[in-house]
Structure 1
């Protein structure tokens, strides 16, 4: 997938300092960091790091689309198409935006699993995540790390930069060279481009934006334990008005998401094959964690659908209604508006986070719409035109 000129211009403007020679920066630490970011930027968009030279990190984490995969792929964008042109994943590609704020995978004081990368936290940090897709056979498809390192050495500029940053002998060891590649991509993903904190919500906190009546109602509902339970899982900071909120506590829950039958029909995974979520993480050996997935950030959520770990829901309003089904006795709320049928059975029914799911009253349509309106205010400024496009399409 080629990079559009506007994306390149955006990146170059945001990271202008990254391409300055090391000698031009008085602080060697800053220069080193910026040089790694600049290298990571190049790697992030390099299709040569896939087997058929057709995909880059940006293919499935497109900076123009909230760092998600905006290709339809025959399944409404629910999962990503591999470099081989036919393989389809079984989980949706989560946004790379704000991913750097997920803490390393660990257990907190209460014994709950927290953080990590991927839906199951199997990589502790960004570098581990960046190193996964290139050698995944259903993603970028390189046969092994040695193939990736060989591709890097095809590029004289890479060879020069790698040696300057990681030592003259960096390519003598495949593992070290591959790790350096992943670390460089991770450095780029920690830049402000991925986490600008400039949404209407951020501007509201700074007194630069006045919320509409509907947005303000949604904000009140979101942060109120009396009316919803949203912030039980989607608030990290101690207070609702704290700046830098990422809208995830990075813990793991089973919320009863059904199988995405349309995806399974296309990718060949049997309908009865269970995605065990957190239990697939090799660090976790506890049946009570079966079917749990990491709470995602809600930053840019209005422009990064489809939703849930398998992309089963297309519309953000549908997601709010899905949660409401646990508290509403209305027959209407037990129907998925996208299918006209019941929501479907949870893929893993016996570890549902019912304490969190059932802790709140039922929502009427006015409050559902208000929550959706508030969630739209979490959209970074550069993606606000995508919201306008959605509104025009509807």
Structure 2
């Protein structure tokens, strides 16, 4: 499905739920000042992340008011449809959901958040959102055709249907094409370079790296439609992003509770844990970590390597030239998973980065040059 830029003058009625969702996704009228749409922070031309600098080197998104700067980075919407609904397994593990803390159980729940968030799209209420929809004849005709003539008489129901339409669009192949070089390799259409192949072997190794502990969903390496996330929650010891907080006004000493910020979670042992992100399109969707603290993908690999390498260079952040910052939450770091594997030399670090670049959708491969 190709990207459709919404025009308020458009009169063609949406034929199905996903087509309606596509119109909604690009509609800036669903923000207070009519300047921001879902696509602003999840741009389909940029790996479904926010491509704007925002005065913060892309570390967080700027709200519709042109003043509010977030404290977490907008995660990619690529392959988000594959995250299961938020739940707790029998062994107590939290899995799935949307946002970094899983507070939205499903894609539809997530879609309903930004329009009403004062720091994002800034509408005052569901009623205001529905009023914006009713300004446009295309929406009126489409909603009534899909949901019944009386759909706008119940604001909550109409808002719910809006979020379900957005969910339907995000479930289309446009968001999850599975056409990267890695997918083409699995289908026998291309070969990996020697460096990419080394990275692939290291990534799926049960001995040499810990990548697959969290970033492998299918049981066997090479399985089709691998999303490269087990959708669990972990604290990997990411430091606070003091540079971002100097810009957005959040106290440098304030602790982001991570999963514990989810209203459904009361266990203090979940503090500082975040949902394992997909690695699909990871090479073109930086900065990295929940708070955008690292700019380069190679830095991320070196950050993981610090847990297994005791050499002095491995304890230095190559971006700041200073020792790695202390974990924002030290008590819940997933050391069991992080300390699996051997120390990596530069050749193996470069190989892992090369492999992760092969997870880039075909439409974004030109971005790898940047």
**Which TM-score band applies after superposition, normalised by the shorter structure?**
over 0.9
Counterpart check, 1:253 vs 2:234: yes
What is the CA distance between 1:99 and its match in structure 2?
0.1
Which residue of 47, 59, 62 maps to 2:40?
59
Between the aligned partners of 1:276 and 1:320, the Cα distance in structure 2 is 24
Counterpart check, 1:378 vs 2:342: no
Q: Which residue of 1 is the match for residue 30 of structure 2?
A: 49
Q: Which residue of 2 is the match for residue 354 of structure 1?
A: 335
Q: Which residue of 1 is the match for residue 98 of structure 2?
A: 117
Q: Which residue of 1 is the match for residue 301 of structure 2?
A: 320
Q: In 1, are the aligned partners of 2:258 and 2:271 still within 8 Å (CA)?
A: yes
1:137 is paired with a residue whose SS is coil
Which residue of 3, 28, 33 maps to 1:11?
3
Q: Which residue of 2 is the match for residue 364 of structure 1?
A: 345
Q: Which residue of 2 is the match for residue 289 of structure 1?
A: 270
Between the aligned partners of 1:106 and 1:135, the Cα distance in structure 2 is 24
Runs of 4+ aligned residues of structure 1 deviating over 2 Å after TM superposition are 9-13, 19-22
Unaligned runs of 5+ in 2: 6-10
Counterpart check, 1:308 vs 2:300: no
Q: Report Cα offsets for 1:129-151 as digits up to 9, x if no partner.
A: 00000010000001111110100
Between the aligned partners of 1:12 and 1:278, the Cα distance in structure 2 is 35
TM-score by length of 1: 0.91
What is the CA distance between 1:266 and its match in structure 2?
0.9
Q: Which residue of 1 is the match for residue 80 of structure 2?
A: 99
What is the CA distance between 1:12 and its match in structure 2?
5.4
Which residue of 177, 183, 186 maps to 2:167?
186
What is the CA distance between 1:88 and its match in structure 2?
0.3
Between the aligned partners of 1:219 and 1:20, the Cα distance in structure 2 is 47
Q: Which residue of 2 is the match for residue 161 of structure 1?
A: 142
Which residue of 225, 237, 255 maps to 2:206?
225
Between the aligned partners of 1:322 and 1:112, the Cα distance in structure 2 is 25
What is the CA distance between 1:63 and its match in structure 2?
0.2
Unaligned runs of 5+ in 1: 1-8, 14-18, 23-33
Q: Which residue of 1 is the match for residue 152 of structure 2?
A: 171
Q: Which residue of 2 is the match for residue 4 of structure 1?
A: none
Q: Report Cα offsets for 1:164-203 as digits up to 9, x if no partner.
A: 1111111111111111111101100000000000000000
Between the aligned partners of 2:237 and 2:152, the Cα distance in structure 1 is 46
Q: Which residue of 2 is the match for residue 71 of structure 1?
A: 52
Query: RMSD of the TM alignment (CA)?
Result: 1.5
Q: In 1, are the aligned partners of 2:129 and 2:159 still within 8 Å (CA)?
A: yes
Between the aligned partners of 1:330 and 1:46, the Cα distance in structure 2 is 51
The number of residues matched between the two structures is 365
Q: Which residue of 2 is the match for residue 280 of structure 1?
A: 261
